[in-house]
Structure 1
Amino acid sequence: MSNLDLGIIGNSTFSALVDKQGRIAWACVPRFDGDPVFCSLLMGAREQAEHGFFDVLMQDMSHSTQHYLHNTAILVTTLHDRHGNAVQITDFAPRFKDRGRMFRPLHIIRQLRPLAGHPRISVRLRPAFGYGAERGQCSRGSNHLRFAGPSLALRCTTNLPVAYLADEVPFLLEEEATLIFGMDESFPHDLVLAGHEYFERTCEYWQDWTRFLAIPFEWQKAVIRAAITLKLCSFEETGAIIAAATTSIPEAPGTERNWDYRYCWLRDAYFVVQALNRLGATKTMEDHLRYITNIVAGWEGEHLQPVYGVALNKSLVEAIVDHLPGYRGMGPVRRGNQAYEHIQNDIYGSVILAATQTFFDQRLKDPGDVALFERLEAVGQRCIELFDQPDAGLWELRTMARVHTYSAVMCWAGADRLARIAAHLQNPERADYWRKRAEHMHRTIIDQAFDRERNSFVESFGGQEVDASLLLMFELGFLPPEDPRFVGTVEAVEKALRRGDHMFRYAQKDDFGIPETAFNICTFWLIDALDAIGRSDEARRLFEKMLESRNHLGLLSEDIDPNTGELWGNFPQTYSMVGLINSALRLSKKWSDAF
């Protein structure tokens, strides 16, 4: 049965997901939002997929193990048979500095090595085209297989006998083999030597990158794995960071809550920038800020979209892919995301919050200037106009517009940060202007969204319910954590939405019914809020429970079943990994207090 016991490899151009048995079950080319040439993850049960995968099958296999090489994105899967034989599969995408540039080709490299005895294996390489619609035409060269689709051609170059791959026959693996899969280009180098060089230099790159991370004293392995995953979800060409590598993994079984997350949500930007800043991953942070400022620079005052493509694409038209049955047969499978058309007023504040970093961080090569501030002021005007207007909210409710408290608070935060930026730029007139607007918004939000009888904020102006986003009020600076109104809000949200060790986004019925699974980022929000109001021991215990909820490689999806612990939703979820990073850095003992 398909599950989310998957590992991710990649090089900040594309990524691939590998299951516990060594199958590459998901990979899009030539970039994250491209055609999923490996798409068996969405073809029903694992054994039902007829194409869309890259397998190494062990004859008479008994079990497998899997791990990442220390502090890298290099994944090692070991297959064992019932006779004591074993084969090791090393999967990675090359990434390293070469000739002053980052070398990150669209290559999946698979190195096969007999580990014990005389393993007998077969290799099944079956890419698909047109979102799984067809297998394409296969042709042979002396050392490669070529796969041609309607608009794309791929090639696998190998030192294995090509006939073994083409006919998928079992054979004894008696020496190391290398397979390089990617675009239809010749590979003019010694395959094994190049594979070894790429492996060594990629390993060196990742271990060097992690050496310079500002990690906490506690939970170091978990934070490093989350940071590497965050890096793997970045599209380095533009600085975009995708929400997840997949589309249409349902939030809960049989619910049709199936979305395409291979895009960049602006609301995530502030929290992603915050995590990268705390980690000291300044180059990735600066790239992402460049992506945000490019959106602002191209904005002409029209509706600012909640989500954009990795190359600043605006049109993400949502369509159903009929010929893919979906994860475990749970369709629909969607391509594109309708959210790009939504009215979500929190986006304006999110953009300003993310861009604020450029004005105050002296490490950045291109600091914020007056021109950027003036562009952000135009965004801020939208905050003033929209903070008390109905929208779809951060949960992207498709048919339920109202004045969401979180959207209003984010608009307030945009005005508040503009006041601080203006003061930093020594412009007292604009600082006073934005400070007064922020104060007015602050008073209005408290008047309209605070329920004095319950001593709690509610999720919308004049509403009756709470949602998990209210836990962020202290994080955004709207209220200090010791404020009784915030403490009361935390208690009300916890009472309404906590299920065991996990948090729901909200509990009321939406467009698709009553939510059935917990939202992992919301649990991290609760952890941070509990710590902020002085319930630190509870926060640490809950954080440890969330670490136990990760898969065998330390990765998280978007959602989790609070009863079974099974992961659901798109994978790996950037926001979940960001939540882990921020909570770990908040809760950990200080290095100075550790010895």
Structure 2
Amino acid sequence: MPQRQPNPNLELALIGNCAVNALIDRQARIVWCCMPRPDADPLFHALLDSSDGIGLDGTLAVELEDLCRSEQSYDENTAIVRTRLFNTAGAGIEVIDFAPRYRSRDRMFRPAQLVRRVRPLSGHPRVRFVLRPRANWGNTRPELTRGSNHVRYVTPDWTWRVNTNVPITYLVDETWFSLSGPVSLLLGPDESLNGGIEETARLFEEETHAYWRHWTSRLALPLEWQDAVIRAAITLKLCQFEETGAILAAVTTSLPEAPHSQRNWDYRYCWLRDAFFVVRALNSLAEVGTMEDYLRWLHDVVRASPGHVQPLYGVGLESQLPERLQAGPAGYRGMGPVRVGNQAYEHFQHDVYGNIVLGAAQSFHDHRLQRRADAEDFRLLERMGEQAWQLHDVPDAGMWELRTRARVHTSSSLMCWAACDRLAKIARTLALHEREIFWAERATLIRAKILERAWSDKRQAFVESFEGEHLDASVLLMCEVGFIDALDPRFVSTVRVLDNELCDGPFMRRYEAPDDFGLPETAFNVCSFWRVDALARVGRLDEARASFERLLSHRNHVGLLSEDLAPKTGELWGNFPQTYSMVGIIHGAMRLSRPWDQVV
């Protein structure tokens, strides 16, 4: 058996099709994939059982004999990954991975399916295929049945089929053999193919390639950092479960925020806060389709919630997401626990009402949309505004989801203000003069309270809670949502103080006070991007550009970011890829890029 190899720094590439996702490491091993939904039991779970490196159980791998080096990249402007493996004799193979996505018969074809194509590049490569799916979080080995050109893996809940022209005996027995020509594997539901295996795989690749090239060609890109923005946009799109419109915070669970920290959470759900930022980032690139799909899901959340709204729901509108510790896998690099579900669904996080209104606001103003929001939608949103008004100065768990203490968090009150402010603007668009005055007056009252109670003379900064004294990066959103002028001396001072107290170079921590697990150890990537935005707004443009470049340099080898980063080592931590972080890339580039009229 080959020696298990470590997989440092989340050197993983994401593939997907807005139905399923998978993560592939630099040795062409699929180490994480949940089917048939992104919040399901993982079919491949090896990433979360890697105490001494990535093993073969819970992977789909192709191994090259005497492997000595690898290369991995995306096909330009697509979600198709190519991994090239080379051995000591100069022989090489290419592995192409993707999930089919394209329009067919006037609908989007996006099956719960992964496609892997393998072809020799040079020499006489000897390979073996390893296919070891698991069920019940790695605790159950599926029953295997075989046909002439397929293998079936039967679990208590699902049956998965691999259609392939790899010799079935070699596949089942994991036999080394000489690869003389291209082969393909199509993993998905227990269904036969309509065409030949190689023909179907080639068609799926060509159509998927064309789809993503067309999708990216329509993005309104900044002049600078276009490759980074395109990769971020594709990644955000892949994090949408298009069937319902929900947007995942990340495709993984239980990747720790810091080594041995126990901060291991399940992010395979839709946080209304995160989803708003995703929608806004893609809207800034003129990609409104994601917003339209998300609003379908969001409207159902609001209609089912006459009062309290949870901060997160399942991708199928599930309201109950009980958290449990999962026995079996030892955790990422052995750093358990592995958690399934998320207790935050029980929290009261009052910023959620602002995120709902902000997420829906564009639909009242944008004439490109197939269905613009109307007065009935406005009345529905007013219920959320009423909640925001009632709760704007009531203690909650806050956006960082503190589990053991409640305060009147400045960021929560800020978003309650945003809900009222945007409702006033929507009412103006709808020519509802009385409602415009009504919501504008409420916004004015909340704003005055925040300015008075969230400012600390002692710290010379806006702080994390009313009458508090601790610093928190979330107050940087004050400028971003239009609450305060960037050159207001109080905001300028806040940026300077946060720089001095929460930053290691360009890397910013969320807050300074200990939480349920002690002091934060890593920088929170989106906070670092919030800082970039704030620096630019207050006129420190050169510092903002330098910091942005530093942050981009810490993406992994294919341009992806996780939730957190260790400033001393540059290591990525936390769930991956994190939508918040990828949003920061787009927002920073749009804020800082030189205008197109400087070159055209």
Same fold (TM over 0.5): yes
TM-score, normalised via structure 1 length: 0.99
| Aligned twin of 2:114 | 108
TM-score, normalised via structure 2 length: 0.98
| Aligned twin of 1:59 | 65
Amino acid aligned to 2:285: L
| Aligned twin of 2:3 | none
**8 Å contact kept, 2:306–2:383:** no
Greater shift after overlay, 493-502 or 544-553?
493-502
What SS class does the counterpart of residue 473 from structure 1 fall into?
A: helix
Q: Equivalences for 1:297-446 in 2 at 5 Å?
A: 297-301=303-307, 303-446=308-451
| Aligned twin of 2:581 | 576
**8 Å contact kept, 1:393–1:407:** yes
Amino acid aligned to 2:405: M
**8 Å contact kept, 2:47–2:54:** no
Q: 1:48 to 1:100 in 2, by over 3 A?
A: closer
Gaps of 5+ in 2: 1-5
| Aligned twin of 1:166 | 172
State the 1:399 CA deviation: 0.3
What SS class does the counterpart of residue 44 from structure 1 fall into?
A: coil
Greater shift after overlay, 314-323 or 47-56?
47-56
Decide which of 486, 499, 508 is 2:491's aligned counterpart.
486
State the 1:48 CA deviation: 5.9
Distance 2:335 2:358 in 1: 37
Is 1:501 the counterpart of 2:506? The answer is: yes
Distance 1:321 1:168 in 2: 29
CA RMSD of aligned residues (A): 1.0
Sequence identity, in percent? Answer: 52
Distance 1:578 1:312 in 2: 23
| Aligned twin of 1:151 | 157
Is 1:181 the counterpart of 2:187? The answer is: yes
**8 Å contact kept, 2:56–2:130:** no
What SS class does the counterpart of residue 244 from structure 1 fall into?
A: coil
State the 1:269 CA deviation: 2.9
Distance 1:47 1:505 in 2: 30
| Aligned twin of 1:214 | 220
**8 Å contact kept, 1:40–1:46:** no
**8 Å contact kept, 1:12–1:235:** yes
**8 Å contact kept, 2:134–2:141:** yes
| Aligned twin of 2:125 | 119
**8 Å contact kept, 2:184–2:197:** yes
| Aligned twin of 2:103 | 97
Decide which of 231, 243, 248 is 1:242's aligned counterpart.
248
Amino acid aligned to 2:175: V
| Aligned twin of 1:20 | 26
Distance 2:53 2:140 in 1: 18
Distance 1:139 1:46 in 2: 31
Distance 2:215 2:183 in 1: 28
CA-to-partner distance for each residue in 1:36-78, whole Å, 9 max, x for gaps? 0100000123646352110101111001000101111000000
Distance 2:111 2:164 in 1: 17
What SS class does the counterpart of residue 580 from structure 2 fall into?
A: helix
What SS class does the counterpart of residue 328 from structure 1 fall into?
A: helix
CA-to-partner distance for each residue in 1:63-115, whole Å, 9 max, x for gaps? 10001011110000001000010010000111111111111111111111000
CA-to-partner distance for each residue in 1:302-343, whole Å, 9 max, x for gaps? x21000111111111111101111001110000111010001
Amino acid aligned to 1:482: L
Distance 1:453 1:162 in 2: 72
Gaps of 5+ in 1: none
Amino acid aligned to 1:521: V
Count of residues in correspondence between the two structures: 594
What SS class does the counterpart of residue 386 from structure 2 fall into?
A: helix
**8 Å contact kept, 1:120–1:172:** yes
Is 1:268 the counterpart of 2:274? The answer is: yes
Distance 1:78 1:277 in 2: 35
Is 1:73 the counterpart of 2:66? The answer is: no
Greater shift after overlay, 274-283 or 448-457?
448-457
